[in-house]
């Protein structure tokens, strides 16, 4: 079963890649735009810390680790879940009807219908800065690296649940774009450690809108600043969100009315 879905994902990714490179100039501009956006915010961080020396107790390479981790998670999510950005057109046109009659999961098709290879460049840059930050910070344990990787996967799982909720909204209201950009705007608050926010915003971003669990917990675990209780809370939050999102998906499918009805 897993092999079948991997093959389907690979086939759809190849098709999406061919479409992405129809206009090579457009693809180059898209990649350069992402790189410049990353570079400008990194420059902003360097200028900011050159004046303040630290941000809420974190030194320059620690702050860069937070930012690089944010970009790593954000890029991985966009790479795998790019199909969600096209979901509204499927619902409005009635093409979603065909998802429901195909012998594969409509949820899988709606989420993983072709990865965006144009994000690979940013993925490599983010990984490079994470590794560079680890070497610059030093004193990183193997257990810290393993927990960091676990929390990166956990962050992707939380992002996956948010995208399932977005699909649910798309089925019930045909509105996807605004919900997607709301999600992206909220997660942008995790480019820096959520310690910079005062309560109750910090608590909201940790437990209600778990941006902190997604973006701040992994770097903290790598630096040995996260307790085992916090790791367990992160895993519980992602599990609960996944369960609720799948229930909501089943409810939305039961209420779906095709474009022809």
pLDDT tens digit string along 131-184? Answer: 999 999 888 888 889 999 999 999 999 999 999 999 999 999 888 888 998 999
Q: Given pLDDT bands bounded at 50, 70 and 90, which one contains residue 259?
A: low
Distance CA 183, CA 169 (A): 13
Residues 259 and 91 sit within 8 Å (Cβ to Cβ): yes
Distance CA 120, CA 83 (A): 16
Q: Which residues contact 139 (CB under 8 A, 6 or more apart)?
A: 224
As a whole number of angstroms, the distance between CA 51 and CA 53 comes to 6
Residue 245 is predicted with a pLDDT of: 96
Question: Chain-wide mean pLDDT for the chain?
Answer: 88
Tell me which residue has tokens 């061919």: 18
pLDDT digits (tens, 9 = 90+) for 111-125: 998 887 888 888 999
Q: Which residue has the tokens 């990787």?
A: 149
Report pLDDT for 147.
Answer: 94
**Hey, where are the domains in the chain?**
2-255
User: Does the bond joining 254 to the residue before it have cis omega, within 30 degrees of 0?
Assistant: no
Higher confidence at residue 26 or residue 14?
14
Q: How confident is the model at residue 69 (pLDDT cuts 50, 70, 90)?
A: very high
């Amino acid at each position: 079963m897993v092999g079948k879905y991997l093959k389907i994902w690979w086939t759809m990714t190849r098709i999406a890649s061919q479409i992405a490179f129809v206009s090579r100039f457009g693809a180059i501009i898209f990649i350069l735009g992402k790189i410049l956006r990353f570079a400008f915010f990194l420059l902003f961080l360097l200028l900011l810390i050159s004046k303040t020396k630290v941000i809420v107790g974190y030194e320059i390479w620690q702050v860069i680790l937070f930012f690089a981790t944010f970009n790593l998670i954000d890029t991985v999510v966009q790479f795998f879940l790019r199909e969600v950005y096209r979901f509204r057109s499927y619902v409005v046109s009635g093409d979603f009807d065909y998802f429901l009659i195909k012998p594969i999961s409509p949820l899988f098709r709606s989420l993983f219908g072709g990865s965006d290879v144009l994000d690979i460049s940013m993925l490599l840059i983010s990984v490079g800065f994470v590794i560079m930050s680890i070497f610059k910070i030093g004193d990183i344990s193997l257990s810290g690296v393993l927990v960091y990787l676990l929390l990166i996967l956990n962050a992707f799982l939380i992002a996956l649940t948010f995208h399932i909720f977005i699909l649910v909204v798309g089925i019930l209201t045909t509105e996807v774009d605004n919900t997607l950009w709301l999600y992206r705007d909220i997660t942008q608050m995790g480019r820096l450690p959520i310690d910079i926010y005062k309560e109750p915003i910090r608590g909201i971003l940790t437990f209600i809108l778990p941006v902190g669990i997604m973006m701040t917990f992994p770097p903290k675990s790598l630096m040995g600043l996260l307790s085992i209780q916090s790791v367990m809370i992160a895993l519980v939050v992602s599990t609960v969100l996944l369960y609720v999102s799948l229930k909501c998906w089943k409810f939305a499918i039961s209420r779906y009315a095709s474009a022809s009805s």
